[in-house]
A and B are shown apart, each in its own frame.
Chain A
Amino acid sequence: MKKELRLTVNGEAHELYVEPKSLLMDVLRDQLGLTGAKRSCDTNTCGACTVILNGMAVHSCSILALQANGGEVLTVEGLAKKTELHPLQKAFLDYGSVQCGFCTPGMLMSAKALLDKNPTPTKQQMKEAIDGNLCRCTGYNSIIRAITAVVNGEYKEEK
């Protein structure tokens, strides 16, 4: 029996009908076509599915869609303003923080959630913020450098 789900995703309001067992990730990917968040582990341990729900970075593979009812979700697709990339996205490109790119959407959302809460994190805090996001390609340090560049104001966000 499907249930009603009201969700604001990337600023857009949606009224959906979902199975009670549906995961937030599946609703985002299968019903809304937002395939940025990836499934990689099935066990809530890799962070590839990270989105921001009501200001907090969450693993969308481990939250029932209905738990997010009435909530606001930001996915990687909502980071750029139309064609203008978010500072974190620019920095990830410039600092080589992307290789295969499969972990990148989740990594960006963890970094965004950190900077929203704390615009001037220490290196240790940055490392902690992405410790739940697995990356097999980059070795993480380039990601930390990219976040640092954003914190240092190398990329100005257009208001």
Chain B
Amino acid sequence: MSDYSVIGKRVRRIDGTEMVTGNAKYTFDLVLPNMLYGKILRSPHPHAKIINIDTTPAEKMIGVKAVVTGKDTLGCKNGIWRRFSELCDEEILCRTKVRYIGDPVAAVAAIDEDTAEEACQLIKVEYEELPATFDPLEAIKEDAPQIHEGVELNINVTRHIEWGDVDEAFKHCDHIREDQFKTSSQHHVCMETHDAVASFDYNGKLTVWTSTQSSYYIQRLLADMLGLREGDIRVIKPPTGGGFGSKFELDSPQFCASLLSMKLCRPVKIVLTRAEEFTATKRRTPMYYFVKLGAKKDGTFLAKEVRVLTEGGAYTAMGATALYLTGFFSSFPYKYPNYRYDGYRVYTNTAPTSACRGFGAPQSTFVGESQIDMLADDLGIDPIEIRRKNGMTPDYEVPGQAHILSCELHQCLDKTEEQIRQRGKLPPNHGIGIACYGFMSGGIFNWFDTPYAFSSAIVRINIDGKVDLFTGACEIGQGSDTTLSMICAEELGVRLEDIRIHSGDTGICPADLGAWGSRETLMNGNAVKMAAADAKRQLMAVAAGKLGANIVYDLDMTDRWFHLVDRPERGFSYYDIVKQAIRGNDGEAIIGRGHYTPHRKGMISPAYSFGVQAAEVEVDPETGRYKLLNVITAHGSGTVINRLGIEGQLEGAIMMAGGYGLCEDQPMDKGKILNPSFDDYKLIRSLDMPETKILEIESYEPEGPFGAKEAGEGLTNPTAGAIGNAIYKAVGVRINDLPITPEKVFRALREKEKQGK
């Protein structure tokens, strides 16, 4: 496996030099001739009817070029679950009703941002305030205000997963735990806020440059919302300042900028402020968990029952998927013979909740890993031992849901245990907690209802041997452009510098669902590998004819050299073969095509990553303050494509997932987010960052390109649980609601003292 010439190395980002020189031009940096600037007016009320909107004073203002409201739209409703029209519920520009503080009601295009902002203040919106509801436990009651017409008890989506005989199995358990947990909101905090430049021309063609995780989704959703044909819209994704799950839906900047541009046939740019980003883009789903776990005396899990109520916020967004995935990943990564999940996503008058790195799994992993430690403690079993006993193994069937091929969980447990042993005896008030996790390598579900292959790629070999790789995959910082170029170079047998990738531009790239659900390496990687193989096969035909070797000999190309596999010195230069192939092809460049759609791979994903994380904390028992000191991660991601890339994903995830455990939250008062700035939204900065260590895990995933699978989101799953378990080990208190703030630890310590007396 190690004789690859490109993959498995530590490779600099191919787009990195543009970034370190300040030369990379993000959507935020784009300026077009004759461009206008847009601003969005948003609802100050959590729930209100729109009686009237008077835009006249704003329109009269000097420098204002256009104002749009819901009346200027087609009245379509946006949603990413396109197969279910009732789940497409967001107008983006509200026509009759607003449902959260921040819901857009109007947008202005003007000569500069200040003018647009001022004009927004002149728009008079007459509201009739309605009673509002903010907590799913309240919103689900019969007397709660109805947020969407006809949606009883505000129940947006329900999800049931079951296998085995759960009720019967609980009768045979020696020990059963029933616990409640609550997980918090978290914001993605992309460094580049949501933004877009839209330019509609007199030929009826719309071009949108936007910071997005899926240019194809934006193209398709804009077509739905604007009544244009898909082919009349070109979405271009320039370098993108982070996504983390927040940027694959159609949001207000793209829609409003497009609408304004269509009114004027002038380019319009909208950039959200940080405060707008915090209050009016989507966020991680807070969840209430009610969990029952039953086991035998020896720690063997017999049954698990999970009930979840999620805070949906005002719209469905991708939250319906989070509801499904949190239910599935509540069974992960263990062999539960009997399992039942019932999830309810409830509308509330708060900012919509949706996808956020980990997609429902950080919630379920915090809950599951906390409870397993509690159970192990009750039974007097070592936390690693109980996980080893119940952990998934390769070639395991999750009944009716998934087939696990590669699984490195036990290898990860062994390596982590060895590290913990090496740490030796801990100082007082220190504790090490562990958490196991797994995650998907791209989702199989197609609620978006795309008619296209999930991933596609085209490889074009030019006369000089330079290779153009076209793919709809979206580079958002995670490194997909580099990873996919490496896969292409490896498969083709050329060098990395021979590849020029064109990605995330719907005008020139084949459709790809985008960078979410940790899908690009496996799904797009497979498409790229297939396209490269297709192109190589065409060259090989020419090379084989030229070599005239016996048919029994194998031919291959490595490092720009076509040769007999057994006699590498016998061959031809790649450049010569390319020239001849193109000549023989009537002058057409060599084109290879590839695509990937998972078939017969279960309900969730074609492949799963597995890992174990250990976190060490030091708690001050007087104040409850604690420090996250060390985090060790063993992550099975199949074959590593770019070692530098995977390290970045691992360490970066700890910053985000550590923040989820420690401090990140979005407290609200009557639907108003109280901390919409970096002054008040606390996250991990360099001084708070723990030491990190990555344990190398050997593995190979048969379904992935060269054996690779995900290494993006799974890493966000374990940290909060590991921190919670570490605090318990350190000072003996258990916090069941996120984030685990020093205040909560302090209160729990005082409570424990009281009970001790």
Binding site for B on A (CB under 8 A): 29, 34-43, 45-46, 48, 75-77, 79-80, 85, 89, 92-96, 98-105, 108, 127-128, 130-144
Given A139-B689, A139-B692; 17 other pairs, CB 8 A cutoff = A29-B29, A35-B29, A42-B275, A48-B191, A76-B22, A98-B19, A99-B242, A100-B239, A100-B242, A100-B476, A101-B20, A101-B241, A102-B190, A131-B687, A136-B188, A138-B648, A138-B652
A34 CA / B31 CA spacing, docked (Å): 12
Among A85, A99, A135, contact of B21 (Cβ-Cβ < 8 Å): A85
Interface residues of B in 13-34 (CB under 8 A from A): 13, 15-26, 28-29
Would A100 and B651 count as touching, CB distance under 8 A?
Answer: no
B477, CB-defined interface residue at 8 Å: yes
**Mostly helix, strand, loop or mixed at chain A's interface?**
loop
B12, CB-defined interface residue at 8 Å: yes
- Distance (Å) between the CB of A120 and the closest chain B CB? 19
Would B651 and A92 count as touching, CB distance under 8 A?
Answer: no
Would A77 and B22 count as touching, CB distance under 8 A?
Answer: yes
With A85-B21, A100-B191 as known contacts, state yes or no: A93 contacts B683, CB within 8 Å. no
Looking across the interface, which residue of chain A has its beta carbon closest to that of B479? A99
Would B19 and A139 count as touching, CB distance under 8 A?
Answer: no
Stretch at the interface among B162-170, B228-236, B260-268, B653-661: B653-661
Which of B190, B192, B683: most chain A CB closer than 10 A? B192
B647, CB-defined interface residue at 8 Å: yes
Binding site for A on B (CB under 8 A): 10, 12-13, 15-26, 28-29, 188-193, 239-242, 244, 273-275, 476-479, 644-645, 647-648, 651-656, 677-679, 683, 685-687, 689, 691-692
A156 CA / B28 CA spacing, docked (Å): 34
A142 CA / B13 CA spacing, docked (Å): 14
Residues in A with CB closer than 8 Å to B677 are 41-43, 45
Closest 5 CB pairs of A and B: A36-B22, A100-B477, A101-B19, A102-B241, A139-B651
* A–B Cβ pairs within 8 angstroms, 23 of them: A34-B22, A41-B677, A43-B274, A43-B679, A46-B191, A89-B17, A93-B12, A96-B645, A98-B16, A98-B19, A99-B477, A100-B242, A101-B19, A101-B20, A101-B239, A101-B477, A108-B20, A130-B686, A136-B188, A136-B655, A137-B652, A138-B655, A142-B651
Would A80 and B21 count as touching, CB distance under 8 A?
Answer: yes
Would B244 and A96 count as touching, CB distance under 8 A?
Answer: no
Would B655 and A40 count as touching, CB distance under 8 A?
Answer: no
Would A104 and B20 count as touching, CB distance under 8 A?
Answer: yes
Would B689 and A140 count as touching, CB distance under 8 A?
Answer: yes
Residues in B with CB closer than 8 Å to A77 are 21-23
Looking across the interface, which residue of chain A has its beta carbon closest to that of B11? A96
Would A46 and B678 count as touching, CB distance under 8 A?
Answer: yes
Among B23, B652, B679, B685, contact of A99 (Cβ-Cβ < 8 Å): B652
A89 CA / B412 CA spacing, docked (Å): 35
Residues in B with CB closer than 8 Å to A36 are 21-23
Among B191, B647, B691, contact of A102 (Cβ-Cβ < 8 Å): B191
- Distance (Å) between the CB of A124 and the closest chain B CB? 8
A132 CA / B678 CA spacing, docked (Å): 11
Among B25, B273, B477, contact of A137 (Cβ-Cβ < 8 Å): B477
Would A144 and B686 count as touching, CB distance under 8 A?
Answer: yes
A40 CA / B29 CA spacing, docked (Å): 12
With A93-B17, A103-B191, A127-B686 as known contacts, state yes or no: A139 contacts B653, CB within 8 Å. yes
Would B16 and A136 count as touching, CB distance under 8 A?
Answer: no
Which of A42, A108, A131: most chain B CB closer than 10 A? A42
- Distance (Å) between the CB of A19 and the closest chain B CB? 10
Looking across the interface, which residue of chain B has its beta carbon closest to that of A91? B20
Would B21 and A35 count as touching, CB distance under 8 A?
Answer: no
A102 CA / B17 CA spacing, docked (Å): 13
Among B20, B240, B242, B683, contact of A92 (Cβ-Cβ < 8 Å): B20
Among A89, A94, A100, A139, contact of B241 (Cβ-Cβ < 8 Å): A100
Residues in B with CB closer than 8 Å to A89 are 17, 20-21
Residues in B with CB closer than 8 Å to A94 are 12
